[in-house]
């Protein structure tokens, strides 16, 4: 069977950094094994799902380069869910419950007060037809639970966490359908995983208990469960779970000038034993991707580390990859000249302004005669080969200046800044006429 993964976001909001990491790892695992990566829009919550978020999810994945091989929407699968529901109900694996939320909350509090785990007591299984009719006469509608087989031990070999074991007697029968007929996450996800041929599921460790009950759902449907990998959750730089991580989405990173390659390079490696490296092409990341390298400790996400990594990746980007985002007049030599000084591609426009001008510089009085001489020398040197070294060598011989006293006044006059790209690369871009004009006091 072809290895198949899926990313299954709910379109009730924008993707955040944790979602993005999950999508990336599912995509990488599929690509590593020549498999398929599917996008499933989990939009069974009709009240909260919005089409604008569906489109945003697609755009975010496209920006990251995570192209799915197919896309499905749970809202298209309602008839299939109904058929499975009826089948499981007839088999006695789903049963109606009539407790109100307040009654269930009271039961939980009583159990906790006794020092017992708050497990549902299955009282609904003892109701006879007369009791159910009485509840319906009161206007109560049932919610539905999946009946766990307490004689069937639950276990799986997790790709990250190793051997996992759950005692079903220590778990509540999960609610799979609400009073209004709408679905909760658990059962539709299993049905779709079976129908879509999902072989591997990567998700956060907060889903471990969900996996335990879903494994019995797979069995109830006569299906083999996929392999599971439960990753440690992301934490912020303060070393604990951060609410801010839930608000960091693609828009935030794009506005900050972060390249998609930087996000991919960081999220592919944090939480693993592999070093985070500036990689503009994901191919080596995919080749080295291995769940055996993932640790159990929370994965630390640091925006400062991302910014540093972003600058290193910008320094690797070829002109063709960024040309559409550069000033129209900026060509390949100009990009190559300024690239080593950029933290973001957008900063190239500032350096192009240095080339195209005008520039303003504060020139010290003691440097004015030197610059006047430099203007004359600039008019007679050969600009075809290496004008910067031709200019500085001639000035060194003529004025006796060297080191900082030679180079800094020239840089200030020519660029208006005391630092920046290599002047040997920058001066040919500025050109003879602009250079002479800037050097002239």
pLDDT in tens, 115-147: 999 999 999 999 999 999 999 999 999 999 999
CA–CA separation, 191 vs 223, rounded Å? 10
Q: Per CATH, which fold does 80-155+166-177 belong to?
A: 3.90.800
Q: What percent of the chain has pLDDT over 70?
A: 99
Tokens standing for residue 281: 């092409």
Give Cβ neighbours of residue 228 (< 8 Å, ≥ 6 apart). 156, 158, 159, 200, 201, 202, 203, 211
Tens digit of each residue's pLDDT (9 = 90 or more) over 223-244: 999 999 999 999 887 766 566 7
Tens digit of each residue's pLDDT (9 = 90 or more) over 145-188: 999 999 999 999 999 999 999 999 999 999 999 999 999 999 99
- Predicted pLDDT at 239: 66
- Predicted pLDDT at 241: 58
DSSP H or E run through 70: strand 70-73
Tens digit of each residue's pLDDT (9 = 90 or more) over 51-71: 999 999 999 999 999 999 999
The whole-model pTM stands at 0.89
What 3-state DSSP class applies to 199?
Answer: coil
Q: Once rounded to an integer, what is the mean pLDDT over residues 305-315?
A: 97
Instruction: Count Cβ neighbours within 10 Å for each residue of 35-57 and write b for 16 or more, e otherwise.
Output: bbbbbbbbbbbeeebeeebbebb
| Mean pLDDT estimate for the chain | 94
Q: Do the beta carbons of residue 44 and residue 72 sit within 8 Å? A: no
CATH of 365-439, one of 1.10.10.350, 1.20.140.10, 1.20.1260.10, 3.90.1010.10: 1.10.10.350
- Is residue 243 annotated as involved in ligand binding? yes
């Amino acid at each position: 069977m072809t290895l198949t993964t899926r990313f299954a976001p709910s379109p009730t909001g924008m993707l955040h950094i944790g979602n993005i990491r999950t999508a990336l790892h599912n995509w990488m695992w599929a690509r590593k094994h020549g498999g398929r990566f599917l996008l499933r829009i989990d939009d069974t919550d009709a009240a909260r799902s919005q089409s604008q978020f569906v489109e945003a999810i697609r755009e975010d994945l496209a920006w990251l380069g995570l192209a799915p091989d197919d896309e499905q929407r749970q809202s298209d699968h309602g008839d299939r869910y109904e058929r499975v529901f009826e089948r499981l109900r007839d088999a006695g694996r789903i049963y109606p419950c009539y407790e109100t939320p307040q009654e269930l909350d009271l039961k939980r509090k009583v159990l906790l007060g006794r020092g017992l785990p708050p497990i549902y007591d299955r009282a609904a299984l003892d109701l006879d037809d007369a009791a159910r009719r009485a509840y319906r006469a009161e206007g109560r509608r049932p919610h539905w639970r999946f009946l766990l087989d307490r004689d069937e031990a639950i276990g799986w070999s997790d790709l990250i966490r190793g051997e996992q074991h759950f005692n079903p007697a220590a778990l509540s029968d999960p609610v799979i359908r609400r009073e209004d007929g709408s679905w909760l996450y658990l059962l539709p996800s299993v049905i779709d995983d079976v129908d879509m041929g999902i072989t591997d599921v990567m998700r956060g460790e907060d889903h471990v208990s969900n996996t335990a009950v879903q494994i019995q759902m797979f069995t109830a449907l006569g299906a083999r469960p996929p392999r599971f990998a439960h990753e440690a959750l992301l934490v912020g730089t303060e070393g604990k779970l951060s609410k801010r991580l839930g608000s960091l989405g693609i828009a935030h990173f794009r506005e900050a000038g972060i390249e998609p390659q930087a996000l991919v390079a960081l999220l592919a490696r944090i939480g693993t034993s592999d070093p985070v490296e500036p990689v503009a092409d994901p191919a080596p990341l995919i080749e080295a991707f291995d769940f055996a390298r993932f640790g159990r400790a929370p994965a630390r996400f640091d925006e400062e580390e991302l910014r540093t990594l972003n600058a290193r990746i910008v320094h690797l980007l070829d002109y063709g990859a960024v040309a559409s985002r550069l000033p129209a007049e900026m060509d390949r030599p100009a990009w190559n000249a300024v690239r080593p000084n950029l933290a973001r591609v957008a900063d190239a426009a500032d350096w192009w302004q240095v080339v195209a001008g005008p520039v303003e510089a504060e020139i010290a009085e003691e440097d004015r005669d030197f610059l006047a001489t430099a203007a004359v020398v600039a008019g007679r040197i050969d600009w075809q080969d290496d004008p910067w070294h031709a200019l500085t060598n001639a000035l060194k011989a003529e004025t006796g200046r060297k080191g900082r006293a030679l180079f800094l006044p020239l840089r200030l006059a020519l660029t208006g800044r005391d630092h920046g790209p290599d002047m040997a690369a920058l001066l040919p871009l500025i050109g003879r006429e602009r250079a002479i004009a800037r050097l002239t006091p």
